[in-house]
Amino acid sequence: MLGYFIRLLISTIFVQTHERFCQLSEFFKVRGARAGKNPEQLEELTPLKPGKILVFACYPLQSIDRTTISVLENFAKHGVQIVVVSNRQIAEESKAALRRISSAIIQRQSVGRDFGSYQRAMFYVQETLGFDSVSRLVFMNDSLYFFSNADTSPLVKYLLDDKLDYCAANENNEVHYHVGSYLFAVGEKVLRSDAFQRYWKNYLPYSTRRYTIATGEVGLTKTVTSSGFVPHVLYQLHELTPKVEAALAEKSIELHKLLSIPLKREIAPDDFVFSCKEIDMIKEEWQNKSQSHHLALLYVVFLNAPYIKKDLVYRGIFTITDILDLVKSRKLDDPETVMRIFRMRKTPATLDGQVERALYRFGMV
């Protein structure tokens, strides 16, 4: 017991020290970003007009996925104006595609992850158009891979539904409830509320992962819900569970292949026969974990989600083989393309050195 508390103390000191060091190293960049003084390249293509706007935050390691461009084009067909904010230089090929559908492209110093980019876009929209002229604001980042043969129209229409003041593709119950920041939207009432605007005005865009989740995703969700707006979520657990149970009863699905690696370790590999205890364990895991990660393949199969998170393999939740099996069986995409996307990031087994492994273990990278 004493050893456990010693390890816990050491872990806490390590995490807090790393967070403070990173925030100190970014002190001037963060304040420069909030004051609009950091170096950037602003390319204004068409003036913003009153209406709907999508903010696309990206950090392209190579070119931006063609399927992501297709989703942005789908939004543009619905009359949505697009503002791109990149924390890294965009490849010319991708930039040419973005120019055809965007109102503005901002390439800037990397600070604050996606929430830093969202904040920069908010400032730009406020300065050039004003929030009173925006009827809907969609937030999207490049952490999703959209399957080329999947239908994204229901997702786009859902996020653009004016009857929904606050909506998102996914929600997350891990640690603290929040909606997924990679794809959500707000309507006029939220956008013009004092709490929402004050949140973005005061947000300090530090780049550590734990800070972005706690102060960004969770903080924004709390701000909006505390103002009386209930989040509407497209892909929900309560809709998934009965579909899975029905498929199990009919023995029409090999469920074990769609479970995350942590669950596979706990449950015997019988695709059809699950005990009541195992089913309860599965439901508890689904409820308390990041659903966009642990339920990713199930959402694709049962709720027709057109995407999965790009870090599923990096986080050790699924293997590349799991994902390729799904892609091939459902004819969702070209397997070679999908393999290339998911091999761009490391796996838990290929992390370099003890420091990187420690940062990964504590959820800091």
Query: Tens digit of pLDDT for each residue in 320-352?
Result: 999 999 999 999 999 999 999 999 887 777 777
Do residues 63 and 91 make contact, with C-beta atoms less than 8 angstroms apart?
yes
- Answer whether residue 3 is part of any domain: no
Mean pLDDT, the chain, whole residue set: 89
- Is residue 20 predicted with pLDDT exceeding 80? no
The answer on 354 and 227 residing in a single domain is no
| pLDDT at residue number 288 | 83
| pLDDT at residue number 35 | 74
The answer on 24 and 164 residing in a single domain is yes
- Answer whether residue 269 is part of any domain: yes
Q: For the purposes of burial, counting CB atoms within 10 Å of the CB of 43, is it exposed (0-12), middle (13-18) or buried (19 or more)?
A: middle
Backbone phi and psi for residue 54, each to the nearest 5 degrees, phi listed first: -115, 130
The answer on 298 and 219 residing in a single domain is no
- Answer whether residue 2 is part of any domain: no
| pLDDT at residue number 143 | 97
**How far is Cα 271 from Cα 278, in angstroms, rounded to an integer?**
12
What is the tens place of the pLDDT at every residue in 242-255? 888 888 777 666 78
Number of domains in the chain: 2
What is the tens place of the pLDDT at every residue in 254-306? 787 888 888 887 776 655 556 666 677 777 778 888 999 999 999 999 999 99
Do residues 167 and 158 make contact, with C-beta atoms less than 8 angstroms apart?
yes
What is the tens place of the pLDDT at every residue in 195-221? 999 999 999 999 988 899 999 999 999
The answer on 217 and 291 residing in a single domain is no
What is the tens place of the pLDDT at every residue in 65-112? 999 999 999 999 999 999 999 999 999 999 999 999 999 999 999 999
| pLDDT at residue number 363 | 66
Question: Measured over all CA atoms, what is the biggest interatomic distance in the chain, rounded to whole angstroms?
Answer: 63
* Residue 26 domain boundaries: 12-233
| pLDDT at residue number 170 | 96
| pLDDT at residue number 301 | 95
The answer on 171 and 151 residing in a single domain is yes
- Tell me what the mean pLDDT of segment 351-357 comes to: 72
The answer on 171 and 143 residing in a single domain is yes
- Answer whether residue 108 is part of any domain: yes
- Answer whether residue 1 is part of any domain: no
The answer on 265 and 160 residing in a single domain is no
| pLDDT at residue number 7 | 67
Q: What percent of the chain clears pLDDT 70, i.e. is strictly above it?
A: 90
Of 10-24, 65-79, 130-144, 207-221, give the lowest mean pLDDT range.
10-24
**How far is C-alpha 328 from the chain's CA centre?**
24
- Tell me what the mean pLDDT of segment 296-319 comes to: 95
User: Which tokens is 226 given?
Assistant: 């505390």
**How far is Cα 115 from Cα 39, in angstroms, rounded to an integer?**
18
**Domain boundary residue, one of 205, 233, 261:** 233
**Domain boundary residue, one of 203, 233, 263:** 233
- Tell me what the mean pLDDT of segment 114-132 comes to: 96
Pairing of strands 134-141, 144-146: unpaired
The answer on 82 and 22 residing in a single domain is yes
The answer on 16 and 67 residing in a single domain is yes
User: Which tokens is 203 given?
Assistant: 């947000």
Q: What is the dihedral of CA 45, 50, 54, 58, to 10 degrees?
A: 40
- Answer whether residue 99 is part of any domain: yes
**Domain boundary residue, one of 212, 233, 254:** 233
Tell me, what CATH number does 173's domain have? 3.90.550
- Answer whether residue 53 is part of any domain: yes
E strand map for the chain: 40-44, 51-58, 81-86, 102-108, 134-141, 144-146, 166-168, 171-172, 178-179, 183-187, 232-233, 307-309
The answer on 241 and 225 residing in a single domain is no
- Answer whether residue 5 is part of any domain: no
- Is residue 308 predicted with pLDDT exceeding 70? yes
Q: For the purposes of burial, counting CB atoms within 10 Å of the CB of 47, is it exposed (0-12), middle (13-18) or buried (19 or more)?
A: exposed
The answer on 140 and 181 residing in a single domain is yes
| pLDDT at residue number 276 | 66
The answer on 213 and 245 residing in a single domain is no
Of 42-46, 237-241, 278-282, give the lowest mean pLDDT range.
278-282
Q: Answer whether 0.85 is exceeded by the pTM.
A: yes
